[in-house]
Amino acid sequence: MTTFHKTLIATLTLGFAALAAQAQTPATPRVDERQAEQHQRIQQGVASGQLTARETHRLRAEQRAIRHAEAHAKADGVVTAAERRHIQHLQNKASRDIRRQKHDAQVRG
């Protein structure tokens, strides 16, 4: 077998392995939809001046932590019920934090 053929076989094998891994990643549409909604709420708060720079930074950090928890849950190819509850708990807390920060007396100056 020539070097070209070996390289071709190796490339195809890696490509199929990547496709298989991507197909096995569990879907979390509710989590993704809720993340998008929370992102929109934060953006609206920034645009309206309801959120200060510090509040915005903290809320975005909270959203990054949720994305990290979701990625961690998906890492083994299965998102368990306990992992879904944990992510939902983080999202519930983030939602409350967004509401509190948008409706407090602080405004962007």
pLDDT, one tens digit per residue, over 3-55 is 877 787 878 787 776 666 555 778 899 999 999 999 999 999 999 999 999 99
Predicted TM-score of the model (pTM): 0.75
* Residue 16 lies inside a defined structural domain of this protein: no
* Residue 78 lies inside a defined structural domain of this protein: yes
109 residue type, one letter = G
Angle between helices 53-74 and 81-102 (to 10 degrees): 170
* Residue 19 lies inside a defined structural domain of this protein: no
Query: Which is it for the CA torsion 92, 94, 98, 101, positive or negative?
Result: positive
* Residue 74 lies inside a defined structural domain of this protein: yes
Residue given tokens 């909604």 in the structure block = 37
Q: Which tens digit of pLDDT belongs to each residue from 46-79?
A: 999 999 999 999 999 999 999 999 999 999 999 9
Domain of residue 59 covers: 27-102
How many independent structural domains does the chain possess? 1
